[in-house]
Structure 1
Amino acid sequence: MENLQGGGGKRRRVVLVPYPFQGHITPMLQLGSILHSRGFSVTVAHPQYNSPPPSSHPELEFHSLYDGLSGYQLSFQSLLAAIYGMNENCRASLEEYLVQLMEEEEKQDIACIIYDNIMFFVDDVATHLKIPTIVLRPFSANYLNSLLSILQQSDAIFPFQDSSILEPLPDLHPLRFKDLPFPTINNHVIEPVVDFSVRTNDIRSSVACIWNSVDELEHSALSKLQQRYKVPFFPIGPFHKRASDSSTSLLEEDKTCLEWLDRQTPASVLYVSIGSFVKMSEKDLVETAWGLANSDQPFLWVVRPGSVDGGSDQLPEDFERVVGDRGRIVKWAPQRSVLSHPAVGGFMSHCGWNSTLESIFEGVPMICSPVLSDQPVNARYLTQVWKVGMELERAERGVIETTIRKLMAGDEGREVRKRVVDLKLKLIESCMEKGGSSYQALDELVEFISSLP
């Protein structure tokens, strides 16, 4: 542990700068917990918007950065403007805080700043102060590799015909045009999205990349990306298996659902959640409700407040009477505890990367219903490459009912369940245990940060 000590025997400090949305805050706080357990002092310098819960992480220090978003009505449509605004507004606040840290009487030895790739302003501030930076990639390597490949050959891809939607994307097996990792209008790529993708995926002067991923799961994509960026890569995932059990949730978790799960038969319950950001239409809410009801399978369904786009979260009349105690509906769930519960036998998911890793590493097969960003890419790998999920082809009650029955009660579902359990055991053995790839990458990351000047 000596190599972690700065001047005067103090622990070396690492400053983390997260992007303030649940899917990004979760891996950043987990990384903070992992680094603290390996001997570093850790400060989370976060925007005011969606401030993480300090009480859940007493081992970490927290500092709030002015972000200019107070009173801002954030929506999916205004997201890009908010991100650029945050990158501009947090700059002075972070610089002032770092200078203060460096000038403290007992001089703080800041080893490096680790920032979410969407908080691209951090590298400019750190370069000015001569502090090394490392980028955290909270998405899958397959997603980033496909995104960059598409941008490189965009002229050959856009615009495309409606009839091509299920055709394979050139040189990007197993992806189809349907799985494009960014929004299109009239089958054209949107220019501001291209600019955003380029800016957030440039590592600037950063000296390394940390991945919440596993080399055995994404070896090909990680190799291609490392050749492109030419800095050390540290795939030390899955973070949730190495971090403390402390909650990283921004919403209050309803833990009473765990008592309901205790009363269910092993591997009988379908867990349903569209995650922390995605919204569904009122029609999709109704179709999902009746698909679940008609499947005759027990289910735990997260209906997040505000998750219905422009509508009400109200479930169809008679729905709760029809399903009775076979279904449990909550506003938010302790997902890691749910997925590791023996009663859970399937996960109907939007396929965000945190959910994907949590499901694979608990041996829970998935019904994939992706919406945006990295989700279609993750879903395609789950169903076509790792073969541990089933695609939900349409959000219609009959299709939902049939897919649920297939996964939870059919021969195909048993095969998928066997494959995900085999994959989980193989990955835990090859990456988590001593000598495994993630175990080794974490040791190398600790050594790398400790040796930074």
Structure 2
Amino acid sequence: MGNPHVLVIRFPGQGHVLPLMELSQWLAKHGIKITVANTEYNLHKLLVNALAKEEDDHQIANSVRLVTTGFGNQPETKIAEMLSMPAEKIKELINQINASSDGDKVTCVLIDTHLTWDMEIVRQMGIRRATFCAPQAAQYVLISSIPKLIEDGIIGHDGIPTKKQKFQFSPTMPAMNTSRLFWLKSGIKKNVEKYLFKHALDIHKSMVLTEWVLCNSTYDLEPAAFNMHPKILPIGPLLATNQSGNSAGNLFTEDLSCLKWLDQQAIQSVIYVAFGTFATFDQTQFQEFATGLELSNRPFLWVVCSDIMNKLNDAFIDGFQARVGARGLIISWAPQQKVLKHPSIACFFIHCGWNSTIEALSNGVPLLCWPFMFDQFYNENYICNVWEVGLGFDLDEGAIVTREEIENKVRELLGSEKYKANALHLKKKITSSKKEGGCSYKNFMTFVAWLKA
């Protein structure tokens, strides 16, 4: 019998790629053979960014094999093509990997929950099945509870709420708002709610056929969600594991020069701003946000993707940069985990993506919440109302967050010791869970033992 061999299949978004690459490295360090399937486009970007690092950072090349799924060679590949694959294609992919794996055939498929690939065909092939939940556990609780929501008349069979209301799955879980269900708050384009709702149902069907559900979270963050669904096991936080702390799953080239700039700033003085890869601003909101940062009179590091910057008013950008001068630094992509560890960081303006939230909490950084889509609104609820490590923003009559609101919330967050103290307390809890003896560590080692059995 060959060695255990895990085929890892990931949703190609940055917030999904990073934690699954870290999990892949952890498994490889425990003697598990790993093959990671990527889209053509992501495979190229991963290789370019991995090879751009120093020799010490070649953990990805030494222990984890990257292969292509054979589709998705463009960044604009249709989302439907990413989310599902016919059974015959899955079987073909596994057979191709088995034919080139030096006798160690695939013994387990570990798939991102967002990819509703046919787990039944994997079961029929006699291969073990596990799934990885990149968002918080509460999202799976929501997905698995859809039949109950329909039965209780909270939503219809099409996923549309019967009325605007709040509901709770248990007294110890934060309330959810029907207007902010993730399939209704896609942030992509209109008229996709029915497709996304159907996809949520498909996620549940796929996960039922898996033997393990692993989650990049900790019991301390979401005790009620894990108590409701014992099948979901926290193994987080999944952070950079190599010697230099570089992330193995970056799809974008990091601007390391920002670290030298941070070295020149006072301790806990810098506002870090990063809204992920999908968030967008119109010109009015961008100018209000930028002016609010300017009015804060604090140094800031702002990540603005180049494609967003290209759509903005050049005259405003030039004037803004001239006014703030060396107090502000705008870059296209940051080494985020290193930035959040830096002593000069005071707070993080965040889109409330789960991966960024976990990285911030693991470093005791308080948060200013600006959610755009999907589960980000529920994460904001956790951040502001449950953990009390951050603040959200109120919209004006024109649905704009004004410069004054931004300035005031920055001052409120950084003018109180409460948020930093709560963030540091939570940091201690969640980082302990990954250490030997902690809940996440025990769950991970149990999974490793299962793979080797």
Q: Which residue of 1 aligns with 2:47?
A: 54
- SS of the residue corresponding to residue 221 of structure 2 reads helix
CA shift in 2, pair 1:122/1:32, >3 Å = farther
Is the Cα contact below 8 Å between 2:107 and 2:128 reproduced in 1? yes
Q: Which residue of 1 aligns with 2:57?
A: none
Q: Which residue of 1 aligns with 2:53?
A: none
Q: Which residue of 1 aligns with 2:426?
A: 423
- SS of the residue corresponding to residue 257 of structure 1 reads helix
Is the Cα contact below 8 Å between 2:174 and 2:381 reproduced in 1? no
Shift of 1:372: 0.8
Same amino acid, percent of matched pairs: 27
Q: Which residue of 2 aligns with 1:439?
A: 441
1:241-390 correspondence runs (5 A): 242=241, 245-247=245-247, 248-307=249-308, 311-312=311-312, 314=314, 315-390=316-391
- In structure 2, what is the Cα distance between the partners aligned to 1:427 and 1:83? 32
- In structure 2, what is the Cα distance between the partners aligned to 1:264 and 1:108? 51
Is the Cα contact below 8 Å between 1:268 and 1:297 reproduced in 2? yes
Is the Cα contact below 8 Å between 2:41 and 2:74 reproduced in 1? no
Shift of 1:160: 5.8
- Residue 161 (structure 2) pairs with residue 169 (structure 1): no
- In structure 1, what is the Cα distance between the partners aligned to 2:100 and 2:350? 47
Q: Which residue of 2 aligns with 1:194?
A: 197
Is the Cα contact below 8 Å between 1:147 and 1:181 reproduced in 2? no
Q: Which residue of 1 aligns with 2:55?
A: none
- In structure 1, what is the Cα distance between the partners aligned to 2:168 and 2:445? 38
Runs of 4+ residues over 4 Å off in structure 1: 91-94, 103-106, 157-161, 241-244
Give a deviation string over 1:169-215, Cα, whole Å, max 9, x none. 35563333454323269x99932222111002321421111111111
CA shift in 2, pair 1:307/1:316, >3 Å = closer
- Range with greater deviation from structure 2 (379-388 or 53-62): 53-62
Give a deviation string over 1:373-408, Cα, whole Å, max 9, x none. 110001101100011111122322111111112222
Is the Cα contact below 8 Å between 2:240 and 2:246 reproduced in 1? no
- Residue 221 (structure 2) pairs with residue 217 (structure 1): yes
Shift of 1:114: 0.3
The amino acid that maps onto 1:114 is L
The amino acid that maps onto 2:19 is P
Shift of 1:261: 0.2
- Range with greater deviation from structure 2 (29-38 or 127-136): 127-136
Superposition RMSD in Å: 2.6
Q: Which residue of 2 aligns with 1:450?
A: 452
- SS of the residue corresponding to residue 293 of structure 1 reads helix
Is the Cα contact below 8 Å between 1:307 and 1:313 reproduced in 2? no
CA shift in 2, pair 1:252/1:14, >3 Å = same
Shift of 1:217: 1.3
Q: Which residue of 2 aligns with 1:145?
A: 141
The amino acid that maps onto 1:422 is H
CA shift in 2, pair 1:105/1:64, >3 Å = closer
Shift of 1:121: 1.6
Q: Which residue of 2 aligns with 1:3?
A: none
| Normalised TM-score (structure 2) | 0.85
CA shift in 2, pair 1:130/1:422, >3 Å = same
Is the Cα contact below 8 Å between 1:174 and 1:381 reproduced in 2? no
- In structure 2, what is the Cα distance between the partners aligned to 1:446 and 1:71? 35
1:88-237 correspondence runs (5 A): 88=86, 92-103=88-99, 106-149=102-145, 152-154=148-150, 155-157=153-155, 158-159=160-161, 168-169=166-167, 173-183=174-184, 190-202=193-205, 203-226=207-230, 231=231, 233-237=232-236
Q: Which residue of 2 aligns with 1:406?
A: 412
- SS of the residue corresponding to residue 191 of structure 1 reads helix
Shift of 1:46: 1.5
- SS of the residue corresponding to residue 197 of structure 1 reads helix
CA shift in 2, pair 1:106/1:259, >3 Å = closer
- In structure 1, what is the Cα distance between the partners aligned to 2:311 and 2:271? 25
Q: Which residue of 1 aligns with 2:11?
A: 19
- SS of the residue corresponding to residue 317 of structure 2 reads coil
Is the Cα contact below 8 Å between 2:237 and 2:431 reproduced in 1? no
- In structure 2, what is the Cα distance between the partners aligned to 1:225 and 1:268? 41
Is the Cα contact below 8 Å between 2:219 and 2:439 reproduced in 1? yes
| Normalised TM-score (structure 1) | 0.85
The amino acid that maps onto 1:44 is V
Shift of 1:280: 2.2
- In structure 2, what is the Cα distance between the partners aligned to 1:365 and 1:112? 38
The amino acid that maps onto 2:104 is Q
Is the Cα contact below 8 Å between 2:143 and 2:201 reproduced in 1? no
- SS of the residue corresponding to residue 195 of structure 2 reads helix
- In structure 2, what is the Cα distance between the partners aligned to 1:427 and 1:73? 36
- SS of the residue corresponding to residue 109 of structure 2 reads strand
- In structure 1, what is the Cα distance between the partners aligned to 2:118 and 2:162? 37
Give a deviation string over 1:115-143, Cα, whole Å, max 9, x none. 11122225244234221110111110122
Shift of 1:94: 4.2
The amino acid that maps onto 1:208 is W
The amino acid that maps onto 1:126 is V
Shift of 1:22: 0.7
